[in-house]
Structure 1
């Protein structure tokens, strides 16, 4: 047996990633597999499904590469709001509805009517609860994507965690499902999973799965969190005033507050901090995904180098690629727009980068308006951190230092959570997470002026109150 180690699994939108980490935080092994079963076929673009059997095959394959006899625990994260139905053994019985699938939007009025005080401002059409009602789960079990993977590893149905349960309607303050409201919606209690805190034990790797993956049979599997919270752990942003900004396909912000932040607009929601308190934040429909959507086939690395020479421009794009925004404001009617002169694709590239940075700044301003502690520093994670130019631009727009963690991915965050073994994840992260670089903001009058014009245009269009 070698030194103790822990595995984190990130069930992402486009791939599954697994990582094995030791007690010092050093990465010992990595593996990933693409997910190819995504289906977006509706004319309106509101349909997004994946085959959960594709997840399980990819998980087994990555674990077979990173497994080791010294592994002492595993935790799993997945996309927030992704939901599916299983049989009584925890096996999937149909394709999963992904985090941004919006086919169930028509269920929203019925949900709000069932408990207006609870859901009139908070429930959103892409959350899991509308999807569950649309699926009509009679005789089936409700599960989130991470739950299905955990059940696969241990060989039986598992509890879900408070983080994944949030968008299914779980009451984090009361610590229970709102059964009265669910009864009015016709949602039977027996279809719902038990809910536990992140880091709680879910079971142990079965002998059957150990033969497939090479993991030690009996390895504990711990309850994980959603991918945004997992990235926050990987960044070590677990104390008030520290924030994590995850810029991948979409933009997700997460911070820490001692008290629950109430947002009458419904744009901000809060997870429970594994150590107590709250993790407020939100997920935007804008993000780095706009680059491939709006500049198909472009050499983004070449554009990034050229943008560094170009510097800030007096133009920006609100880079939403489908109708509707959910954070930092809720505007189902929101659509893409452009400000200023964008004569070619290089300027469009720069305009997208600046537009995302402006949405990020607006998000932090909205959070502070609700009572969040002022932003002291921001840890940047997600695929977009590969762009040094974008990292510096975001620091300039925010006007605060940004930190680049050494291992900025959700799978790493889950390894840290598994290593905490039910103890303080904040203390565990302090021992394991390392910052690779810190970028200081530079004064940018052009960007500040343009940001004011950008916010004014959002307001003129009715997206901002």
Structure 2
């Protein structure tokens, strides 16, 4: 049976899946990324060559675990973190470590340097390492790039180069989702264990690929992606933007996704809190601690006895003074209250962002699909259903972006004849979780939490101006 390899490189780890035509995962691996390096204020990079190194290790492990014949592999789907920038020398090596989406330089024009011959996204860099080609996924060019949102190709506008600092000679050729980026070279095959000569197919940006793998197909649903960056998306008709949403490239050719404001360190904050509370002992079982912490949070009543979290652990670029906070302590609360307060803050904040986007677009989704690490928490899923007052469905496979990358490779390789056939066969969602007994309570708590967020933002501004 033919299979495809899906590479899903995220902010905290790289995951690799080997997937058959039905969406069944035949082998998988996950390799964590190192913490971001901060060489100077406002700069955030992946240290050394960490992204590529993690992809090499994850591919090798997945290939070792695959019990089939490597000849069965008909394609590789490549999905990487969006909003990154790679500065490459003429030989394709990094001129400096990969700029993360949190680096302030990715929102600024490129400053020409004599040692930089190519400016690409993270997927453009990895595609070059795999294939030797300078060809990249058009759908991963979000942010400050000279791209035409309607044509998915480089802009012909005379001021595009001046506005971005990127002459055409610095840029890769663009291809649509499902199109071939190149073929795995002998050097890349020796490092990764992937078969030499296997075609590598473009996907899009990681959030769009996640939406594809979760089966988001229309604006009747909104997808809530519980990742390092938490975002909410739905299908849109055309490029555009408003005060409460912007439009991203989708993971099918010509498709667009409307996206709400998000939480910049969303599930990262959950991990941060867990690590902060976890006893530092080598014999401790982290998964057992996760279960214990979840059980303690589940036993806490909605509203956490007055404790609330404000999730500005990483301030938005337009309001750099904002800070995260826990407020409302009385001495009666424990770690379960803190944990549940973060989950509630995610649900309250994203519910407001989703509804703001829906009001602006004039379209209200009937259902919610959840993906990412947070979707594995029954408590968080139930809180989201209660807060939004809508049924919530979880993607069937934990790594929806991996399944999305597999779908792109399945279409590109001809394993499936078209996008609808591939999505129908390989993606899906589980049984809906409906609003429960706490829905009315959460509806009443939403203005309370909204007011706390507003007042903490005011306090953050004051703290900066008043500090000597």
Classify the TM-score, shorter chain: 0.7 to 0.9
Deviation, 1:64, is 2.5
Question: Which 5+ residue runs of structure 1 have no aligned equivalent?
Answer: 105-127
Give the corresponding residue for 2:71.
69
Give the corresponding residue for 1:444.
439
Asked if 1:237 is matched to 2:233, the reply is no
Distance 1:426 1:440, change over 3 A: same
Distance 1:413 1:308, change over 3 A: same
Give the corresponding residue for 2:246.
268
For the 8 Å contact 2:81–2:206, the answer to whether it is kept is: yes
Task: Return 333-342 or 196-205, whichever deviates more.
Answer: 333-342
Q: Deviations over 1:327-364 (max 9, x none)?
A: xxx64443324554463332222111111111110121
Alignment of 1:123-138 (within 5 A): 128-130=106-108, 133=110, 136=113
Task: Return 292-301 or 25-34, whichever deviates more.
Answer: 292-301
Alignment of 1:205-220 (within 5 A): 205-220=184-199
Task: Return 52-61 or 366-375, whichever deviates more.
Answer: 52-61
Give the corresponding residue for 2:81.
79
Give the corresponding residue for 2:66.
none
Asked if 1:415 is matched to 2:393, the reply is no
For the 8 Å contact 1:9–1:17, the answer to whether it is kept is: yes
Q: Deviations over 1:390-445 (max 9, x none)?
A: 11111111111111122131222211221121864343111111323321112522
Give the corresponding residue for 1:111.
none
Q: Which of the residues 125, 134, 138 maps onto 1:162?
A: 138
For the 8 Å contact 2:149–2:239, the answer to whether it is kept is: no
Give the corresponding residue for 2:391.
401
Alignment RMSD (CA, Å) = 2.6
Distance 1:356 1:338, change over 3 A: same
Question: Which 5+ residue runs of structure 2 have no aligned equivalent?
Answer: 64-69, 279-288, 460-468
Give the corresponding residue for 2:422.
428
Task: Return 170-179 or 373-382, whichever deviates more.
Answer: 170-179
Tell me, in whole angstroms, the C-alpha distance in 1 between the residues paired with 2:412 and 2:59. Answer: 20
Task: Return 16-25 or 182-191, whichever deviates more.
Answer: 182-191
Distance 1:311 1:274, change over 3 A: same
Q: Report the number of matched residues.
A: 428
SS of 1:233's equivalent in the other structure is helix
Q: Which of the residues 321, 329, 340 maps onto 1:350?
A: 340
Tell me, in whole angstroms, the C-alpha distance in 1 between the residues paired with 2:448 and 2:107. Answer: 37
Tell me, in whole angstroms, the C-alpha distance in 2 between the residues paired with 1:436 and 1:241. Answer: 17
SS of 2:323's equivalent in the other structure is coil
For the 8 Å contact 1:69–1:215, the answer to whether it is kept is: no
Give the corresponding residue for 1:278.
256
Deviation, 1:368, is 0.5
TM-score (norm 1): 0.84
TM-score (norm 2): 0.84
Asked if 1:32 is matched to 2:30, the reply is yes
Give the corresponding residue for 2:231.
252
For the 8 Å contact 1:6–1:22, the answer to whether it is kept is: yes
